[in-house]
């Protein structure tokens, strides 16, 4: 999940009978027989936008200790000290302290799923953001300037490649994860063309090798954004072409090094898929099954509220709610059980944004948050469409949590999640 911040860089119900049966069996141990278990671990992250001391997305403890088997450390919000790793010098102490704090907190909860960005920014067409230290404190990361950076032709390609490989080695040794994503959603970079893409794959292969050498038994892979892979992106606009787009994009993954086929999927952002019922069957596992690979869900979720932006008055950009969110979670868990997935990551433990901010338009629920939103919109200029796009960008992941921003559980979704967690995880 990536959110570009211009000044600082996304029904009520009861537990179904099948879940209650699993719970009853787990508690009673089914007489003398072993109770049921699940093959998949349940993971999430504590990412939230906080306004103090300055607006920034941070990885916070949230309720991970009570809610997850595995902590997702989605390291896109603190930047990468490119200069230090290029020069072979120690990273800034402020950045190291932040990483050590994240690692220590994660290990108190359980195993770690570490996700690292090789590419980020709009369309993931830029190298990972730079870490910034200002006035002796870790500040918001700064984006890289070169779009579609080509590791085969750039004058500093050798040092950039070495820096990223060193960064992966450093992070894996520091966090000792069970799973590591060495390049979040790297397939989006395919849009840059064959030359930059093939060179990026070479870097991913080197990062994969570094991760494997840094931690015995670690499972390493990049994540693949399957909504685009399956042909629902801007380059494949007609349904008749989607299978052909999938075939072509899948072929370009042939040299990508991986121990698992790790996927990310956020189809609520695709207008034609904005209802979970419209998402084709086998969505999570189609790509992994194609090559006989075991699937890992590195990142998914669904908005639990509508999303309204200010444009020509107030416009509902995405129609959603807790019914849709719950339906998507049920789809996910059905495939997790039927395909014996290994890791399932619902990306948000708590909402990224306060609930009211998602649909209160014009914003008036809180003067501090509304002032932030106004400044955020104005940071991209005065064009109303650009401002609406910026607002969309920050709200697109805003209400995907198992809990609301203040920590209040989403009753039905949270009950489903904890019913699944009540079954012993076979891989513990």
pTM over 0.85: yes
The predicted structure's pLDDT at residue 234? 82
Average pLDDT over residues 217-246: 91
Q: pLDDT tens across 404-425, in order?
A: 999 999 999 999 999 999 999 9
Percent helix, strand and coil across the chain, each to the nearest 5 = 40, 20, 40
The pLDDT of residue 361 is above 90? yes
For 171-208, write each residue's pLDDT tens digit. Answer: 999 999 999 999 999 999 999 999 999 999 999 999 99
- Taking the C-alpha atoms of residue 372 and residue 219, their distance in angstroms, rounded to an integer, is 40
Q: β-pairing, 261-265 with 126-127? A: unpaired
Place of tokens 């992070």: 171
Give the separation between CA 39 and CA 268, rounded to whole angstroms. 27
How many angstroms separate the CA atoms of 9 and 185, rounded?
Answer: 18
- What pLDDT digit, counting tens, does each position of 235-273 carry? 786 777 899 999 999 999 999 999 999 999 999 999 999
Residue 141, H or E segment: strand 137-142
**Of residues 316, 254, 313, 314, the one with CA closest to residue 287:** 254
Residue 177 has what pLDDT?
Answer: 98
Reported as a pLDDT band with limits 50, 70 and 90, residue 427 is confident
Least confident span in 84-98, 231-245, 258-272, 372-386: 231-245
Cα(428)–Cα(416) distance, integer angstroms: 20
| Residue 33 pLDDT | 52
Per the prediction, the chain carries an average pLDDT of 91
The encoded tokens of residue 134 equal 């200002």
Q: Does pLDDT of 26 surpass 50?
A: no
Rounded Cα distance, 82 and 284, in Å: 34
Angle at which helices 194-214 and 157-175 cross, to 10°: 30
What average pLDDT does the segment 119-130 reach?
A: 96
Asked if residue 82 has pLDDT above 90, the reply is yes
Check residue 239 and give its pLDDT.
77
DSSP 377-401: HHTT-S-HHHHHHHHHHHHTTTT--
Say if residue 140's pLDDT is above 80.
yes
What pLDDT is recorded for position 35?
63
Structure tokens at 322: 């807790």
Tokens of 320: 């959603």
Residue 105, both tokens:
């907190």
Domains annotated for the chain, with CATH where assigned, are: 34-421 (3.20.20.80)
Q: Which residues are CB-contacts of 341 (< 8 A; sequence separation ≥ 6)? A: 39, 40, 284, 285, 294, 295, 296, 297, 335
Percent of the chain with pLDDT over 90: 87
pLDDT at 99: 98
Confidence of residue 428 (pLDDT cuts 50, 70, 90): confident
- What 3-state DSSP class applies to 180? strand
Q: What is the pLDDT of residue 19?
A: 35
The reported pLDDT for the residue numbered 163 is 98
Average pLDDT over residues 263-286: 95
């Amino acid at each position: 999940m990536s959110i570009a911040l211009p000044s600082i860089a996304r029904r009520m119900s009861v537990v179904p009978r099948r879940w209650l049966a699993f719970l009853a069996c787990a508690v009673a141990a089914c007489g003398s027989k072993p109770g049921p278990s699940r093959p998949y671990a349940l993971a999430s992250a504590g990412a939230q936008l906080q306004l103090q001391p300055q607006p920034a997305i941070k990885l916070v403890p949230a309720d991970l200790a009570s809610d997850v088997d595995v902590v997702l450390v989605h390291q896109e919000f603190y930047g990468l000290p490119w200069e230090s790793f290029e020069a072979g010098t120690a990273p800034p102490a402020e950045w190291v302290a932040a990483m050590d704090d994240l690692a220590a907190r994660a290990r108190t909860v359980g195993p770690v799923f570490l996700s690292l960005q090789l590419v980020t920014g709009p369309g993931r067409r830029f190298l990972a953001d730079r870490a910034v230290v200002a006035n002796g404190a870790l500040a918001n990361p700064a984006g890289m300037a070169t779009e579609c950076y080509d590791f085969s032709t750039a004058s500093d390609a050798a040092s950039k490649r070495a820096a990223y490989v060193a960064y992966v080695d450093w992070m894996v040794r520091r966090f000792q994860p069970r799973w590591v994503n060495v390049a979040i959603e790297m397939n989006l970079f395919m849009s840059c063309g064959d030359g930059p893409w093939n060179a990026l794959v070479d870097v991913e292969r080197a990062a994969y090798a570094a991760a494997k050498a840094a931690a015995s038994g670690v499972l390493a892979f990049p994540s693949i954004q399957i909504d685009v892979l399956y042909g629902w992106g801007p380059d494949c606009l007609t349904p008749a072409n989607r299978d052909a787009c999938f075939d072509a994009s899948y072929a370009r993954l042939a040299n990508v090094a991986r121990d698992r086929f790790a996927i990310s999927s956020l189809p609520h952002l695709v207008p034609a898929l904005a209802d979970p019922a419209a998402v084709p069957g086998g969505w999570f596992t189609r790509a992994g099954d194609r090559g006989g690979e075991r699937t890992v869900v590195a990142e998914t979720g669904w908005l639990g509220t509508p999303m309204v932006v200010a444009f020509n008055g107030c416009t509902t950009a995405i129609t959603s709610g807790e019914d849709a969110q719950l339906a998507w979670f049920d789809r996910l868990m059905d495939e997790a059980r039927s395909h014996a997935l290994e890791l399932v990551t619902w990306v948000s433990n708590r909402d990224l944004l306060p609930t009211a901010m998602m649909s209160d338009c014009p914003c008036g629920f809180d003067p501090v948050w509304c002032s932030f939103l106004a400044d955020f919109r104005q940071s991209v200029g005065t064009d109303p469409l650009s401002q609406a796009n910026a607002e969309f960008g920050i709200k697109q992941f805003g209400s995907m949590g198992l809990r609301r921003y203040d920590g209040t559980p989403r009753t039905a979704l949270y009950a489903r999640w904890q019913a699944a967690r009540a079954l012993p995880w076979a891989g513990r």
